[in-house]
Amino acid sequence: MSTTWDAGKKPPPAPVTPWRLLLAALRVLILAAVVFGGLAVLLALRLFEWPLFGQHRPLTPYITQGVCRAAFVILGIGFRSHGQAMGHPGAVVANHSSWLDIFALNAGKRIYFVSKSEVARWPGIGWLARATGTVFIRRDPKDAKQQKAMFQTRLLAGHRLLFFPEGTSTDGLRVLPFKSTLFAAFFDEKLRCEMYIQPVTVLYKAPPGQAAEFYGWWGDMSFHSHLLKTLLTPRQGRVEVIYHPPVQVATYYDRKALTADVEARVRAGHRALVDADAGVG
């Protein structure tokens, strides 16, 4: 993320009671056991997968997907998806509301995230990101050529990369304008005719009685406080994911045309989910 979006307001913290603390402790223990247990299995399997397949990862992404699906069950958050995850080579782009997007998007399909370089240094989260094949980048024009080459290597290895063109997370109530910078790699002659982009819309429904932006993560909110609020909430909401039909890169004149089209598709999906939840139409 090169910028940080801020709504100027924040949802109130969840009330803390002995019962809620017990629930949070139980959830975090089970979640940690599943996540780090899955990580241990993944790393052990990677010892055999790397010598045999190199950049290709035919086995370990299934472990990541299973852990992320289990995470929603443990947290009590409902998960629903619409449409089909693409089978074409290429990338996935989505709107960005929260760290929960990592679980929501990994639960539905086997992908590799593109993330800011700072995440690699985060305790716990950084280890998981590196182990699951995350691509780390710096939003610095000086690194553009190197990053383009990295994208090409991973895409040619059959990896489906996922990135957030908004460049920041939000309150989840809106879709910010997409930045076209990362789309440039797909117009390389080695990739353009082969690659597809699948737009994906993610929308969170808040727990009963909570503000609509409950799951949003923005501004100067810390990860730990947001996680604690989620763990402390007995009755959770849900997340819905729409997989829109993939588009072929070669059918677009340039990266800006491609960016504008996939943004429009994600935005339309967001609006449709909001209207459906409100009973409109």
Cα angle 63, 231, 103 (rounded to 5 degrees) comes to 30
pLDDT band at 124 (very low <50, low <70, confident <90, very high): low
Contact 71, 103 (CB under 8 A): yes
Q: Is the pLDDT of residue 23 over 80?
A: yes
Contact 272, 218 (CB under 8 A): no
Report the top-level CATH class of 18-278. Answer: alpha beta
In the prediction, which pLDDT does 280 show? 66
Q: Is the pLDDT of residue 19 over 70?
A: yes
Rounded to an integer, the average pLDDT of 270-274 is: 96
3-state SS, residue 233: coil
pLDDT tens by residue, 210-240: 999 999 999 888 888 999 999 999 999 999 9
In the prediction, which pLDDT does 2 show? 44
pLDDT band at 3 (very low <50, low <70, confident <90, very high): low
Helices marked H in the chain — which ranges? Answer: 18-53, 60-75, 101-108, 125-131, 144-156, 223-232, 255-278
Burial level of 269, CB count in 10 A (0-12/13-18/19+)?
Answer: buried
Q: Measure the CA–CA gap between 215 and 225, rounded to whole angstroms.
A: 12
pLDDT tens by residue, 167-201: 899 999 999 999 998 898 899 888 899 899 999 99
What percent of the chain stands above pLDDT 70? 96
pLDDT band at 138 (very low <50, low <70, confident <90, very high): confident
In the prediction, which pLDDT does 1 show? 38
Mean pLDDT of the chain: 90
Least-confidence region, from 60-64, 65-69, 152-156:
152-156
Question: Which 8-state DSSP code applies to residue 249?
Answer: G
Classify strands 112-116 and 90-94 as parallel, antiparallel or unpaired: unpaired
Q: Which residues, including other chains, have CB under 8 Å from residue 221's CB and lie 6 or more apart?
A: 10
Query: Residue written as tokens 């992320």?
Result: 68
Find the distance separating the first CA and the last CA of the chain, reported in whole Å. Answer: 36
Which residues sit opposite 78 in a β-bridge?
A: 238
Question: Which 8-state DSSP code applies to residue 132?
Answer: T
Query: Residue written as tokens 């593109």?
Result: 114
Q: Is the pLDDT of residue 281 over 60?
A: no
Q: Is the pLDDT of residue 141 over 80?
A: no
* pTM of the complete model beyond 0.85: yes
Contact 228, 157 (CB under 8 A): no
